[in-house]
Amino acid sequence: MKHLKLFILLLLSLPAAAQTIIKPDAGIKQMVDEVSSKNIEATIRKLVTFKSRHTLSDTTSKTTGSGAARNWIKAEMEKYAALSGGRMTVQFDTFTQPKGTRIDKPVKLKNVLAILKGTDPTDTRVYIVSGHYDSRINDVMDANGVEPGANDDASGTALSMELARVMAKRSFPATIIFATVVGEEQGLYGSANLAKRAKTENWNVDAMLNNDIVGNTHGMETDLKDNRSVRVFSDGIPTNATDKQVAALKSLGGENDSPSRELARYAKETGERYVDQLDVKLIYRRDRYLRGGDHLPFLEQGFSAVRFTEMNEDFNRQHQNIRTENGVDYGDLPDFVDFNYVQKVARMNLSVLANLASAPARPQNVGIITSDLTNKTKLTWEAPAIGKKPAGYYVLMRETTSAFWERKFYVSDTAATLAYSKDNYFFAVQAVDADGHESLPVFPKPIR
């Protein structure tokens, strides 16, 4: 409660549109500090020793190929789980992928999941952080070349594993799944299977964080060097929105407030609260040109999901046979990964997951009253039906042209009337506990 009171005082004493200040959680800061670039480096270098982690590569060898790689990842995760007091369990998420464009015969594939069960039995929320452990070179069907995939995506895999290591020893009310998935390069198969399973088994996935290519800090031909920025890609119009829902969003100017975009804004605010020298850059698109990623199947199933990727890419170090051509070196090798940068991105992911999994669930039925013509804004909502009871709520506000939330109003009730016109600003509501952990913000629906 102390933080909230301090926060309200700050709000009252600051001029309009000033930056809000929230005291970081010492427990989260401690975990953030424990994320180690040395561990991340060791994991990436180890993953490269399997020679190929191609989805169709050998599964029988103990030292090379996809089978050896996934067994090693599982064994490592089990070491972390051993320190969790029985709360973390590790499993292969096994499925048979039928023949397809980039799969020449039906093949049994395995994601590796480390599941840290939430401590609150009334809280069904699940958070997923994921990287893909498969790799490729120029020919996407070449399963047996030298395919290091150090940046794409041993970096994301190592990030997911390092977070499992640090967080296994802690407890959170909600469940966190540390995933390393297969089949991304062949067609997002591991992630698609996991998203479908989540939907079929009614998992309450509140957010999915996809980390893919998070280790390189210079642009190929532009020579831009940047070790402090990371992009977060989010969809504007929800990928699974119906025509009717799209029409409603257009009429409100809500195209920029999908649940995934609120997640992206949350990642920026929380990540920058806990990690120094890091700018989380909101990119207003689902993914880059010509590219896709493991967040897409989750978006298709209606979950909130975003993709994190380095700021400037080196395409000579993605999907390339290792070679030198006209004096240019090609290949996705570990020596070109900036491990301190991966550490920063990992720390950002950890702060987002820890803050979300510690927070109350999102408020429900958030509405903006539109029955009166007025220059004020009246919002109503209900407490979350699951998990801990919130200490209160933040009403967030921003100019319609602003990328980020600019004001946070604390209210202890489940309604608020603000002296700002609903026609001139955007609003959202998030639940907050006594220690300041915020839920994801919910963009209101009009209520007559």
Phi, psi of 168 (to 5 degrees): -55, -30
- Return the structure tokens found at 96: 């048979």
Among the listed ranges 204-212, 246-254, 256-264, 413-421, the one in contact with Zn ion (CB under 5 A) is 204-212
Shortest CB 343 distance to Zn ion, Å: 19
Interatomic CA distance for residues 316 and 319, integer angstroms: 8
- The residue assigned the tokens 């004020």 is 376
Cβ of residue 184: shortest distance to Zn ion, in angstroms? Answer: 5
Check residue 437 and report its DSSP letter.
P
Least distance to Zn ion from the beta carbon of 27, Å? 32
Q: How near is the Cβ of 256 to Zn ion at its closest, in Å?
A: 27
Segment interacting with Zn ion (CB under 5 A) among 81-89, 189-197, 211-219, 332-340: 211-219
Q: Report the alpha-carbon distance of residue 113 to residue 175 in Å, rounded.
A: 12
From 18-26, 207-215, 375-383, 423-431, span contacting Zn ion (CB under 5 A): 207-215
Residues of the chain by 3-state class (helix, strand, coil), percent to 5? 30, 25, 40
**Could you give the string, one character per residue 77-96, with x where binding to Zn ion holds by CB under 5 A and - elsewhere?**
--------------------
In the complex, minimum distance from the CB of residue 140 to Zn ion, in angstroms, rounded to a whole number? 12
* Residue keyed to tokens 């702060």: 351
CB of 306 to Zn ion, least distance (A): 15
Does 212 sit near Zn ion (CB under 5 A)? yes
- DSSP string for 328-390: EEE---GGG--HHHHHHHHHHHHHHHHHHHHSPPPPEEEEEE-SS--SSEEEEEE--SSSSPP
CA distance 77 to 161: 7
437: CB partners within 8 A, 6+ apart: 25, 355, 356, 358, 359, 360
Total chain residues near Zn ion (CB under 5 A): 3
Q: How many angstroms separate the CA atoms of 225 and 384, rounded?
A: 44
Dist CA 57 CA 52 (whole Å): 7
Task: Quote the least distance from Cβ 301 to Zn ion, whole Å.
Answer: 20
Closest CB to Zn ion among 76 and 313? Answer: 313
Which token pair is 252? 């409100």
Determine the Cα–Cα distance for residues 105 and 101; give it in Å rounded to an integer: 10
Q: Cβ closer to Zn ion: 217 or 380?
A: 217
Handedness of CA 257, 260, 263, 267 (dihedral sign): negative
When the beta carbons of 346 and 366 are compared against Zn ion, the nearer one is: 346
x/- site string to Zn ion, residues 96 to 135, per CB under 5 A?
A: ----------------------------------------
Query: At its nearest, how many Å lie between Zn ion and the CB of residue 243?
Result: 32
- Of the pair 175, 320, the CB lying nearest Zn ion is at 320
The piece of 30-38, 172-180, 208-216, 319-327 that touches Zn ion (CB under 5 A) is 208-216
Closer to Zn ion at the Cβ: 22 or 306? 306
Stretch that binds Zn ion, among 9-17, 70-78, 209-217, 275-283 (CB under 5 A): 209-217
Closer CB to Zn ion, 123 or 152, in the complex: 152
For Zn ion, give the closer residue by CB, 318 or 439: 318
Q: How far apart are CA 171 and CA 145, in angstroms?
A: 42
Between residues 330 and 427, which has the closer beta carbon with respect to Zn ion?
Answer: 330
Q: ω before 58 within 30° of 0 (cis)?
A: no
CB of 72 to Zn ion, least distance (A): 19
- With respect to Zn ion, which residue has the nearer C-beta, 210 or 270? 210
| Closest distance of CB 91 from Zn ion, Å | 23
Q: Which helix (H) or strand (E) holds 88?
A: strand 88-97
Nearest distance from residue 310's CB to Zn ion, in Å? Answer: 11
Q: Give the Cα separation of 251 and 248 in Å (integer).
A: 5
Site for Zn ion in 139-168 (CB under 5 A): 152-153
Nearest to Zn ion of 153, 313 (CB atom): 153
Q: Does 287 bind Zn ion (CB under 5 A)?
A: no
For residue 296, CA distances in Å to 92, 188, 293, 302 come to 21, 8, 6, 10
Closest CA to 183 of 272, 53, 287: 53
Three-state DSSP at 8 gives helix
**Nearer residue to Zn ion within complex by CB, 212 or 235:** 212
Tell whether residue 310 is a contact of Zn ion (CB under 5 A): no
- Least Å distance, CB 402 to Zn ion, is 32
Tell me whether residue 303 is exposed, middle or buried, using C-beta atoms within 10 angstroms of its C-beta: 0 to 12, 13 to 18, 19 or more: buried
The residue among 76 and 152 lying less far from Zn ion, judged by its C-beta, is 152
Which residues form the interface with Zn ion (CB under 5 A)? 152-153, 212
